[in-house]
Structure 1
Amino acid sequence: MRFSLRARVAAATALGATLVVAALAVVTSVAISRNNVNQLDERLTTASQALVPNAAVLETFLDQLSAAFAVTIRTGDTVRASTPIQLPDLGEGSATVDVNGQRFRVYTTKTVSLVDISIAIGVPAIEAQQVTDEQQKQVIFVGLCAIAVSTGLGWLFGGRAVRPLVELTRQVSAQPPMPPDTKTGVREADELAIAIGGMLQRVNDAQDRTNAALSTARDFAAVSAHELRTPLTAMRTDIEVLSTLDLGPAQRQEILGDLERTQGRVETTLGALERLASGELSSDSDRVPTDVVEICDIAAQDAIRQHRGLAVHIDSEPSVSMRALPTGLRLAMGNALTNAVRHGGADAVTITIERDGTLVTVIVDDNGTGLPEEERSSVFERFYRGAAAAKGGSGLGLALVEQQAELHGGRAYFTDSPLGGARLVLELEDQTLK
């Protein structure tokens, strides 16, 4: 069974009040009982002080006294006189005894004269017990009233205490959720509101990232489908021609060559698209300490093997390390060198690596044909091909370069190169030094 926090506060208050009242009732009852007995003892002591000097006179009419109290006079073990109710032989002082099934509170005193005489005076203990019972009932009644009042106050103040939580629930349950109030005056509620506010912010941020990723994916898929449609249509046309027309060997060879080139273009485009998607899915956990000089050297060696006559020179310190995505940097440098050779016609490239605080700059200079100033921004767009671009490219190489620069907190841009061609600049931010 589920209970509201307000009911729990009221129940806890009632339980606490019950325990306190029960403890106080026990202590008070014991104190009342002891106090009543003490008062009775004081009365008996006072009566004894008045009767002892007149013991001889008292003996003559003891048997005529009321049964409301009892008096017994002894000399040693001999009873000299007594009321109808005879009290037992007791030592000096107060005591509670049973006489004929009735409890008496008795005070005994002894006189020292020519004859030792002891006088015991007693009254029924029921009188004191009745007073005690009555007072204890009053204590119990007051205690029950205190428990009831405490429960009511717990319910009343519990409602006020949980009001910030009720308001917090209302704010969070709103559509869209409202930022919770973090200044309610209740420390626990404020801490909970701050925690919920942080959680809502993280959820909103994650939702924004998800929406952005979905939007990017939709755009990516639309553009990719558009770019792949043209070569696929061309391939279908070539296949229809081969299957429907009776062509000579030369014509068939020409169409097969066109099919091969188109298939290579499709394959290149799909590979580039896969690498772009992989870059967008990378996270901070993929970043590792990376030597940028080593990455550039590997890319340079691969480019020299792929392009005969190409010379690549690296101008840098022996090592420039940063926390980076090594696969992404390797991909970016490979595309930069391929772009310089294939589309710029370069045969000499210089790679310069510099560090300035947290900024690592990679500069790729070539001696190719250069890049018109009006195309220096457009070439980074996906599937964009410059006016002087060679055939067969996917239009995604420089998009990959820019993507990796942005993933590393920087940017990529073109300027004029002192070698006569184009200068590609990659600015990378080393996050570990921040």
Structure 2
Amino acid sequence: MAAATGTTLIVGALAVFLFVAIEENNIRHVDEQLDIMTGLVEANVGTAQLFIGRLSDGGIAAITLSHDGTVLASTSTELPRLPEGHQTLVMADAGYRVKTMEVEQSPIGPHSVSVAAPLSAAESVTREQRQHVLLAGAAAIAVASGLGWILGGRAIRPLVDLTRRIDEGGGLPEAGGWFRVREAEQLTAAVRSMLARIDSAQQRTMSALETARTFANSAAHELRTPLTAMRTDIEIARDVELVADVRAEILGDALRKHSRVESTLVALELLAAGELTSEHANEPADLVELAYLAIADAARVHPGIHLGVSGDERADCHCSPAGIRLILDNAITNAVRHGRATRIEISVQRAGHGMLLAVDDNGAGLPEGERTAVFARFRRGTGAAREGSGLGLALVAQQAELHGGRAELVTSTLGGLRLAVDIACSGIGR
């Protein structure tokens, strides 16, 4: 269809041009003949004047000699007075081509010579030539359409086969062999790339769903135990007659369980917020200033603990200030609650294009075999205190990843643990 349509447009444009050119060429040929005839009549005007009046044009040629509107001599078909030059004239429903020449000096005096030839012969030739053009154009359209059908069909056959194979679930063919059409190879590559992206997205979705299931199961397990214990305490306090000391102990235990549930829910909320964090949450901040703010708050919560900051005087970084505070606050809380530390030092140092944020303590430490596992959600060390959600270090690991780095626990020079966190300071990445 494309070949036929294109050829038809081209042939149509050429046909219009040739139709006009053929007509003009044939009329020009008649004009040349009239020029010759007019020259012959004028060269022999004296003799021609004697014989012209006795001639019948017979539909072949008409000649008229005139002077100031007076006809001096004419064939049986008399031509009207016309301006000098070539004109087309219709007489007796027939078309004529006329050549008129004004002559100032001649043996018969000033006069004009008009010679006319019928256009029927030229029109017949024009029609015949136009028919040839139409036949040639029709043949060109037919040949182009046939070649377009053959070559175009061969060109799109790989696309048809590719569509059929995809529809039948037969997989994508490899390039080469029968598969030599560039567009088909490009389409195959595009489809293969699209399928790879779909498969990758599906894998990420399945992984996210599996993570969500595991997270929900772990959260339900972690919350079920303290909630069940709280229910038992409340039922005992309600249904059993207890002395004041025992009732106070039971209610105190229920309050501790309530605090554990509350801290777990807060940690879960922070984890969910971390999953939604984007680089738009980042802003310029001074890590040293954030460290001083963290120890100032910790000093009010944990009086009697020696807290300090060391390292660079200023550490400007493009980061999430809330995320950095989350790392520092959880590190300090873990050191005091689980490590029973009495001294905590925060250091901020430049490391390459990023920053190294470290929290050292003199607490009880943690066995090397557990130092990686405790970053998982709901995982606690063997010496951890009973209270807590088991999500503190998971939050630290999440924030480290969001800041383009990682968190690790190593032995501290103070005798306890060091939490070291790399921060890229160049945007959030996962």
In structure 2, the CA distance between the partners of 1:349 and 1:48, relative to structure 1 (3 Å rule), is closer
In structure 2, the CA distance between the partners of 1:367 and 1:96, relative to structure 1 (3 Å rule), is closer
| AA at the equivalent of 1:104 | Y
| AA at the equivalent of 1:262 | K
Deviation, 1:230, is: 1.6
Deviation, 1:36, is: 1.7
1:3-82 aligned at under 5 Å gives the runs 9-10=2-3, 13=6, 17-18=8-9, 20-50=10-40, 52-53=43-44, 56=47, 59-60=50-51, 63=54, 65=56, 67-72=58-63, 74=65, 76=67, 78-82=70-74
1:157-196 aligned at under 5 Å gives the runs 190=186
Which segment drifts farther, 271-280 or 312-321?
271-280
SS of corresponding position for 2:317: strand
Deviation, 1:294, is: 1.7
In structure 2, the CA distance between the partners of 1:233 and 1:54, relative to structure 1 (3 Å rule), is closer
| AA at the equivalent of 1:36 | N
Preserved contact between residue 64 and residue 75 of structure 2 (Cα < 8 Å): no
Preserved contact between residue 37 and residue 128 of structure 1 (Cα < 8 Å): yes
SS of corresponding position for 2:44: helix
1:221-300 aligned at under 5 Å gives the runs 221-300=216-295
Counterparts of 2:402 and 2:83, CA distance in 1: 103
Preserved contact between residue 288 and residue 326 of structure 1 (Cα < 8 Å): yes
Preserved contact between residue 159 and residue 184 of structure 2 (Cα < 8 Å): no
Preserved contact between residue 300 and residue 312 of structure 1 (Cα < 8 Å): yes
Selected match of 1:115 from 90, 108, 114 = 108
Counterparts of 1:428 and 1:179, CA distance in 2: 46
If the length of structure 2 is used for normalisation, what is the TM-score?
0.82
User: What's 1:102 paired with?
Assistant: 94
User: What's 2:75 paired with?
Assistant: 83
Counterparts of 1:259 and 1:115, CA distance in 2: 145
Which segment drifts farther, 73-82 or 220-229?
73-82
In structure 2, the CA distance between the partners of 1:92 and 1:61, relative to structure 1 (3 Å rule), is closer
In structure 2, the CA distance between the partners of 1:401 and 1:63, relative to structure 1 (3 Å rule), is same
| AA at the equivalent of 2:133 | V
If the length of structure 1 is used for normalisation, what is the TM-score?
0.81
In structure 2, the CA distance between the partners of 1:160 and 1:121, relative to structure 1 (3 Å rule), is same
Preserved contact between residue 332 and residue 404 of structure 1 (Cα < 8 Å): yes
* Count of residue pairs the alignment pairs up: 422
Counterparts of 2:321 and 2:167, CA distance in 1: 45
Counterparts of 2:269 and 2:428, CA distance in 1: 31
User: What's 2:123 paired with?
Assistant: 129
Confirm whether residue 306 of structure 1 aligns to residue 297 of structure 2.
no
1:421-432 aligned at under 5 Å gives the runs 421-431=416-426
Preserved contact between residue 63 and residue 79 of structure 2 (Cα < 8 Å): yes
Preserved contact between residue 305 and residue 342 of structure 2 (Cα < 8 Å): yes
Counterparts of 1:12 and 1:176, CA distance in 2: 36
User: What's 1:4 paired with?
Assistant: none
In structure 2, the CA distance between the partners of 1:180 and 1:410, relative to structure 1 (3 Å rule), is farther
Counterparts of 2:205 and 2:268, CA distance in 1: 20
Counterparts of 2:281 and 2:122, CA distance in 1: 88
Preserved contact between residue 62 and residue 71 of structure 1 (Cα < 8 Å): no
Preserved contact between residue 57 and residue 77 of structure 2 (Cα < 8 Å): no
User: What's 1:3 paired with?
Assistant: none
Which segment drifts farther, 243-252 or 409-418?
243-252
Counterparts of 1:46 and 1:344, CA distance in 2: 125
In structure 2, the CA distance between the partners of 1:180 and 1:211, relative to structure 1 (3 Å rule), is farther
Which segment drifts farther, 311-320 or 384-393?
384-393
In structure 2, the CA distance between the partners of 1:27 and 1:372, relative to structure 1 (3 Å rule), is closer
SS of corresponding position for 1:431: coil
Which segment drifts farther, 307-316 or 120-129?
120-129
Selected match of 2:209 from 202, 211, 214 = 214
| AA at the equivalent of 1:13 | G
Counterparts of 1:168 and 1:287, CA distance in 2: 47
Counterparts of 1:48 and 1:378, CA distance in 2: 117
SS of corresponding position for 2:339: coil
Counterparts of 1:393 and 1:165, CA distance in 2: 62
Deviation, 1:219, is: 0.8
User: What's 1:351 paired with?
Assistant: 346
In structure 2, the CA distance between the partners of 1:221 and 1:175, relative to structure 1 (3 Å rule), is farther
Counterparts of 1:47 and 1:166, CA distance in 2: 69
In structure 2, the CA distance between the partners of 1:244 and 1:43, relative to structure 1 (3 Å rule), is same
Structure 2 spans left out of the alignment, 5+ residues: none
Structure 1 spans left out of the alignment, 5+ residues: 1-6
Counterparts of 2:341 and 2:206, CA distance in 1: 42
Counterparts of 2:84 and 2:369, CA distance in 1: 125
Which segment drifts farther, 338-347 or 56-65?
56-65
| AA at the equivalent of 2:20 | V
Counterparts of 2:367 and 2:316, CA distance in 1: 33
Deviations 1:100-150 (A, max 9, x none): 443333345659554237654433222222222332233334334444555
Preserved contact between residue 359 and residue 420 of structure 2 (Cα < 8 Å): yes
Deviation, 1:300, is: 0.9
Preserved contact between residue 344 and residue 361 of structure 2 (Cα < 8 Å): yes
| AA at the equivalent of 2:33 | R
Which segment drifts farther, 65-74 or 29-38?
65-74
User: What's 2:136 paired with?
Assistant: 142
